[in-house]
Amino acid sequence: MAFTSSNAEGPVDFFNTFDLEKMAQDVVPKGAFGYIASGAGDTFTMHENIRSFNHKLIVPHTLMDVEDPDTSTVFAGESLPAPMIMAPVAAHKLANNQGEVASAKGVADYGSLYTISSYSSVDLPEVTKALHGAPEWFQFYYSKDDGINRHIMDRVKEQGIKAIVLTADAMVGGNRETDARNGFTFPIPLPIVQEYLPDSVGKSMDYVYKSAKQKLSPKDVEYIAQYSGLPVYVKGPQSKEDVERALSAGAAGIWVTNHGGRQLDGGPASFDSLQEVAKAVDHRVPVIFDSGIRRGQHVFKAIASGADVVALGRPAIYGLALGGSVGVKQVFEKLQAELKLVMQLAGTQTVEDIKHFELRDNPYDPSF
């Protein structure tokens, strides 16, 4: 039987992004929900991603002459309503039968930047069309075959896509035990990578990953930049050594992530790596942050710790499951509203002010 998921399209009633995860579980088939929501191994790293924001405190500044804070920012030449973009997430049809057509429309209607995954369940031209002119980046799962890589890059360029994001932390699948327990395999084709993965249906995530190239090196970054002529953002560095390796290969930006805790369990929370990475980057290139953003205060803390923007993954996908394009837009709007409130209470008028805001180390038990 053909796979089918939610058909939702319309406003969602929710108070915060945590509500959405519980609500999405009721509308997304079990295996697909498990794939989206779960992480690797004991899910220690996945849970720390959210908890670790408590390692830093926002001590409010008073008498700061602040009213109606401005959450807007300019990032990579794009004017955004808030420092939030869409992270690459595989196969949006798992969450909503409209797939990436709806998530792209939601992000475009909100006014932000969309990163399409190599493992998109909708092909490039339809997603670009749904974005109706909004900025688009492409996340690359690199093939072992250079001819295929060139062909994918040619297609990416044809769409007017503005940057390539090279995922460097997912050469094999993490230990996704929830998927194993659910017997989850990919129920839908992945059209962008058809040339190196013609048979994704019925295959595990690990099989999908292993069809791409394992042996990534700085030379791949150089090659993608040289062949495509596009800026290449390296997604995965969590330490100063990795920052230097990526930047010396010509990376145009660093994307700090631990893949939502889906890859290496037992590693640090992404927020805890952000400070070291941002210090090492030292404003040479932009820094993007993902893994764990669920609250406006998380956006604030990430920006105050050196990120230029944060990227949303799971929360946007839950919005997609529950409300299609409208649900995705609502998730961005909700976090923007929370960020604005935090900015007012913290005494920051602009995103630039957040960048200069010093967070305090948490002297309390951060396990709250």
Q: Which residues belong to the active site?
A: 259
Q: Minimum distance from CB of 199 to ligand PYR (Å)?
A: 16
Amino acid identity, position 238:
Q
Nearer CB in complex with ligand PYR: 14/186: 186
Interface pattern 89-128 for ligand PYR (x via CB under 6 A)? -x----------------------------x---------
- Minimum CB separation of residue 356 from ligand PYR in Å reads 34
Size of the site for ligand PYR (CB under 6 A): 6
Q: Which is nearer to ligand PYR, 104 or 280 (CB)?
A: 104
Residue with Cβ nearer ligand PYR (262 or 301): 262
In the block, tokens 């100063």 appear at 240
Read off the DSSP letter of residue 58: -
Question: Measured from the CB of residue 24, what is the shortest distance to ligand PYR in angstroms?
Answer: 16
- Residue 20 or 170: which CB sits closer to ligand PYR? 170
Residue (of 88, 14, 8) closest to 314 by Cα position:
88
Q: For residues 60 and 56, give the distance between their C-alpha atoms in angstroms, rounded to a whole number.
A: 13
What mask of x and - would describe binding to ligand PYR in positions 152 to 191, judged by CB under 6 A? Answer: ------------------x---------------------
* 227 burial via Cβ count (<10 Å: 0-12, 13-18, 19+): middle
By beta-carbon proximity to ligand PYR, the closer residue of 9 and 265 is 265
Cα 311 from Cα 115, distance rounded (Å):
9
CA 368/CA 359 separation, integer angstroms: 18
Round to whole Å and give the CA distance between 88 and 114: 8
Task: Please say which residue, 91 or 221, places its beta carbon nearer to ligand PYR.
Answer: 91
Site string for ligand PYR, 260-289 (x = CB under 6 A): --x---------------------------
**Closest Cα partner for 36 from 52, 25, 47?**
25
Contact between 254 and ligand PYR by CB under 6 A: the answer reads no
Residues 285-314 that bind ligand PYR (CB under 6 A): none
Give 56's strand partners: 361
Q: Is 154 exposed, middle or buried (0-12, 13-18, 19+ CB in 10 A)?
A: exposed
Which position among 50, 164, 168, 205 is part of the footprint of ligand PYR (CB under 6 A)?
Answer: 205
CA distance 337 to 342: 9
Question: Which residue number places its CB atom closest to ligand PYR?
Answer: 90
Q: Which is nearer to ligand PYR, 119 or 357 (CB)?
A: 119
Calpha distance 91→188 (Å, rounded): 8
Shortest approach of ligand PYR to residue 176 CB, angstroms? 8
**Closest among 85, 155, 66 to 346, alpha carbons compared:** 66
Pick from 56, 213, 235, 259: which binds ligand PYR (CB under 6 A)? 259
Closest of 127, 79, 69, 94 to residue 5, by C-alpha: 94
DSSP helix/strand/coil, 114: strand
CB 59 within 8 A of CB 126: no
Closest CB 205 distance from ligand PYR, rounded Å: 5
Least distance from ligand PYR to the Cβ atom of residue 14, Å: 24
CA distance 179 to 209: 14
- Minimum Å distance from CB 197 to ligand PYR? 12
Q: Which residues bind ligand PYR (CB under 6 A)?
A: 90, 119, 170, 205, 259, 262
